[in-house]
Structure 1
């Protein structure tokens, strides 16, 4: 998976070190961030399938000894329904790509799309750098890097779960650990760094 990702990112690039790739989210760290709590019996009231699976899983384990946060894929495995009554799908795979080279290409595509009136109101409202999440506009990334889009589609089909690459400058996402709920994906020594496997 990582080899095909680097082929999509820079099949002929001379400086692979310009591309920093890291896994984020629950499929890298097993548990979701602290803003996503483990469900309770009360939250599952009215959802008989999820309630039964939860009971099979937790049994008589007291609440104080249960996970505080959601394990990977847990809502999907429970068959839990969201606020719209739809089942939660599998947890997605978050790929954090940091590259000034790619950001420059995406910026050029953004300017092109904007001048042609091809950006949605939501794109324009959120800006080239998303106001809340700080990643580069997904429409610009999708249009600038069709091979990356193809790569995501292939691996979504193979793994049966959404694959979500997000683009940031080479410095990575900003440190937001002191803001809001404290959830931040800035560079850490504990990050799961994805490397380009050596060619054999």
Structure 2
């Protein structure tokens, strides 16, 4: 979603160059798409808006009514489609418009985690980590991804790739790093939302060179 086939191939090729342009074991880098970027609909924790949600937002309400027409609530989507809130012009709780849906890239690599850990230890010893980073820890307690500051510092080419493609696509690009086994299975915890490896995942491959 949000790209042409040509753009996606170029973006994928650029990502693998940033990750392992000269690596001998490309199998050490697993990349998957998550969220509505890959599956069109958001997870079940993000409901489709209703007229009540849009009360006080006349522009969004008018667009919503034009979109849904006479469709009864029971026949409407249960979850948010990709980019829906942005296209409606819906405002968040702070009165700011929702931006375009992001591109959620899930990168799993023990090699990269080891490098990020070394960078984390270096930054920590030098007193260069913020209080927020220290509270969150190297592995985020809730979402299980590697600390973003450590990843950005350890892999500047990945950060550059993200910035370039955000500008080209006009939407946030959010790479998150996990151990090689992928995110833990949390399907039996809390709201059941989990991004652990599944056979239905959209696995991103390095396009062949021509």
TM-score range, shorter chain: over 0.9
Counterpart for residue 6 of structure 2: none
Counterpart for residue 176 of structure 1: 186
Structure 1 position 117, deviation (Å): 0.6
Aligned pair 1:37/2:47, yes or no?
A: yes
Alignment of 1:63-102 (within 5 A): 63-102=73-112
Q: TM-score, normalised by structure 1?
A: 0.99
The root-mean-square deviation of aligned C-alpha atoms, in Å, is: 0.4
Secondary structure of 1:152 counterpart: helix
Secondary structure of 2:188 counterpart: coil
Structure 1 position 9, deviation (Å): 0.2
Alignment of 1:146-165 (within 5 A): 146-165=156-175
Counterpart for residue 56 of structure 1: 66
Structure 1 position 70, deviation (Å): 0.1
Counterpart for residue 202 of structure 2: 192
- Report the count of equivalent residues: 200
- Runs of 4 or more consecutive aligned structure 1 residues displaced over 3 Å after TM superposition: none
Structure 1 unaligned blocks of 5 or more = none
Secondary structure of 2:141 counterpart: coil
Aligned pair 1:136/2:146, yes or no?
A: yes
Secondary structure of 2:13 counterpart: helix
Deviations 1:53-105 (A, max 9, x none): 00000011000000000000000000000000000000000000000000000
Secondary structure of 1:102 counterpart: helix
Counterpart for residue 28 of structure 1: 38
Secondary structure of 1:54 counterpart: helix
Counterpart CA distance in 2 for 1:101 and 1:53 is: 47
Structure 1 position 199, deviation (Å): 1.6
Structure 1 position 197, deviation (Å): 1.1
